[in-house]
Amino acid sequence: MTALITGASSGIGRSLALLFARNGYDVLLVARREEALRELAGEITSIGRTARVIPIDLAVNGGAQRLFDQLAREGVRVDVLVNNAGVGAMGTVAEIPLDRQLAMIELNITTLTILTRLLLPGMLERRAGGVLNVGSTASFQPGPLMAVYYASKAYVLSFTEALAEEVTGSGVKVCCLAPGPTHTGFAREASMETSRLFSLGAMSADEVARIGFEGWTAGKRLVVAGTMNRIGALTVRFAPRALALKVTKRLNASR
């Protein structure tokens, strides 16, 4: 069995790659940073599994199709797809450069959709395997000061839950992992290190990955990592929408 993990060079993706390898999977490691991928591949090889490094920028238009075409040419079968690669940016829609917002949509939404669509038919034909999409607790409400990121993660949750229902009874497992603040490089790249959201505490990438892997293995459609995050996701569903917007805006703002 082979699992393809995007965004595998660090954070939750790296931890998920190690978990799949420790549970008997060979892995395809996809991300931009080749050196980090090769270091991870060495760790995985040392525990007796095969790890292949595929350095590619999936935020570039056409990147997902090029990845699929390469795998198809080489006859590589993907049993499990982990759509972990994602990017965020803090700021107003009027301030964040347009190209960065479009790259966010390309990676968080378009790439995830393309890879799922291209790899899913093989899983359905074999009646095995699955898809694990990494969303966020941002999936549950709009996010002022991170509008595009929150909207992109809302898409991931909606898409995953609908897909899970479509493949019911097929033998293919589809799950959305929704972490809250997590100790990865994401906060730094999204300019969120000074936000109030991260000052409330963050989980480790290893813990989040374990919860997601166990949830996907158990056939769950949605896994929210962490007790406080589960409470928050539930609360926002019943809170007045205007209040939820104001609270989220305050949490996203710098301290």
**What residues act catalytically?**
149
The crossing angle, in degrees rounded to 10, of helices 98-105 and 147-166 is 10
Structure letter (DSSP) for residue 8 = T
198 contacts 192 by C-beta, under 8 angstroms: yes
Angle ∠(161,52,180) on CA atoms, nearest 5: 35
3-state DSSP helix/strand/coil % of the chain, to nearest 5: 55, 15, 30
Of the candidates 98, 186, 94, 185, the one whose C-alpha atom is nearest the C-alpha of residue 138 is 186
CB-based burial of residue 75 (10 Å sphere; 0-12 exposed, 13-18 middle, 19+ buried)? Answer: exposed
Q: Which of 23, 21, 79 is nearest to 49 (CA)?
A: 21
Specify the residue for token string 């959305």. Answer: 176
242 exposed, middle or buried (CB, 10 Å; 0-12, 13-18, 19+)?
exposed
Strand partners, 204: 183
Structure tokens given for 185: 């490089």
